[in-house]
């Protein structure tokens, strides 16, 4: 295990690589793609959809799968179609992720630059860590360096960086998915037959009998308010996460009681490297969202980040 290390390196002189607080930053160069009159505010492509196991994975009703998603390419096409339709894409349990790109570069304005649609409401947050990438090599693929965006839990002792969970294919239909993690723990993604009765919650397009997902884990905040397992609260985090009922980055007081698509907003200027140092990105081209908690809430099942879409905030004209 490696806990999140936040490094501040002070300089005695100001250089062009310093911010206003004299903190060393990394400046990343890339291949800028300006907006055009035909540019779309929303994501233009899904490069990868690799969820963790979960109750909506492979499900043909609420989850919207066709049953033909047996390759990574088909899974990405499924995620693209769902978001185009305004429907949710579930990332499953801890570490599940989706990677999208845009038909232009999104500028770093110093304020909110892009948004991610989730379905959080008061008492129901399933936070996702957000990562950004610049197309440094100019090949149009998300194969450069991912930078995590800072959030309210960054640097806390309870936030684990490079936390990993390995999921194991069930031996028979209708069984829970077992997991082990990098902390020496084990558990399972429950099979909830009364609600989601597809044979497997393990992604059908993953051929291996196990796979490992690695990312930043937030301390879980869900709890059983009823005391008898009937009413679970999934409490929110202050700011910086997708599918989170934040009083800060939702930019609205709307309660979203209907659990419809609602945006959290993000700043490219919150990008940081693996050691927690600020990184100066003039723009970004790719975004990744990854389920941040490894926990479950009784009959509600695993905490899983849901996303409905992404968009360039500067093109939406929001107030």
| Encoded tokens for 111 | 């304020």
Q: To 10 degrees, the CA torsion angle through 245, 3, 108, 138? A: -120
Rounded Cα distance, 253 and 77, in Å: 34
Residues in the chain: 319
pLDDT in tens, 156-214: 999 999 999 999 999 999 999 999 999 999 999 999 999 999 999 999 999 999 999 99
Nearest CA among 228, 224, 226, 265 for reference residue 243: 265
Quick one: pLDDT at residue 27?
72
Can you tell me the mean pLDDT for 40-61? Answer: 98
Quick one: pLDDT at residue 28?
74
> Which contiguous run of DSSP H or E holds residue 81?
helix 72-84
Q: To 10 degrees, the CA torsion angle through 18, 9, 273, 2? A: -170
Q: Is the pLDDT of residue 73 over 80?
A: yes
232: confidence class by pLDDT, cuts 50, 70, 90: very high
Is residue 42 within 8 Å of 114, Cβ to Cβ? no
Beta strands in the chain (DSSP E): 2-3, 26-28, 45-50, 89-90, 97-107, 114-118, 128-133, 147-149, 160-168, 177-181, 186-189, 210-217, 222-224, 232-234, 262-266, 271-272, 279-281, 283-291, 306-307, 309-312
pLDDT in tens, 152-164: 999 999 999 999 9
Rounded Cα distance, 91 and 94, in Å: 8
């Amino acid at each position: 295990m490696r806990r999140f290390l936040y490094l501040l390196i002070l300089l005695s002189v100001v250089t062009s690589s310093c911010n206003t607080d004299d903190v060393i930053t990394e400046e990343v160069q890339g291949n800028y793609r300006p907006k055009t009159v035909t540019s779309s505010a929303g994501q233009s492509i899904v490069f990868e959809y690799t969820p963790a196991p979960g109750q909506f994975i492979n499900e043909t009703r609420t989850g919207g799968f066709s049953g033909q998603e047996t390759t990574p390419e088909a899974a990405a096409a499924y995620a693209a179609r769902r978001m185009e339709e305004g429907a949710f894409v579930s990332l499953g349990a801890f570490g599940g992720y989706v990677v999208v790109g845009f038909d232009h570069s999104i500028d770093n304005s110093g304020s909110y630059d892009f948004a991610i649609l989730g379905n959080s409401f008061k008492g129901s947050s399933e936070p996702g860590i957000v990562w950004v990438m610049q197309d440094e090599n100019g090949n149009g693929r998300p194969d450069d360096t991912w930078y995590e965006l800072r959030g309210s839990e960054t640097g806390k002792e309870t936030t684990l960086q490079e936390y990993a969970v390995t999921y194991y294919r069930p031996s028979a239909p209708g069984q829970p998915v077992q997991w082990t993690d990098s902390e020496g723990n084990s558990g399972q993604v429950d099979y909830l037959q009364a609600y989601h009765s597809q044979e497997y919650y393990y992604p059908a397009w993953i051929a291996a009998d196990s796979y490992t997902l690695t990312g930043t884990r937030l301390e879980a905040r869900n709890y059983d308010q009823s005391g008898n397992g009937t009413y679970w609260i999934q409490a929110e985090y202050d700011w910086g996460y997708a599918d989170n009922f934040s009083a800060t980055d939702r930019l609205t007081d709307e309660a979203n009681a209907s659990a419809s698509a609602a945006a959290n907003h993000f700043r490219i200027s919150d990008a940081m490297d693996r050691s927690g140092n600020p990184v100066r990105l003039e723009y970004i081209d790719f975004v990744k969202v990854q389920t941040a908690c490894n926990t479950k809430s009784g009959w509600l099942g695993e905490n899983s980040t849901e996303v409905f879409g992404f968009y360039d905030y500067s093109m939406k004209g929001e107030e």
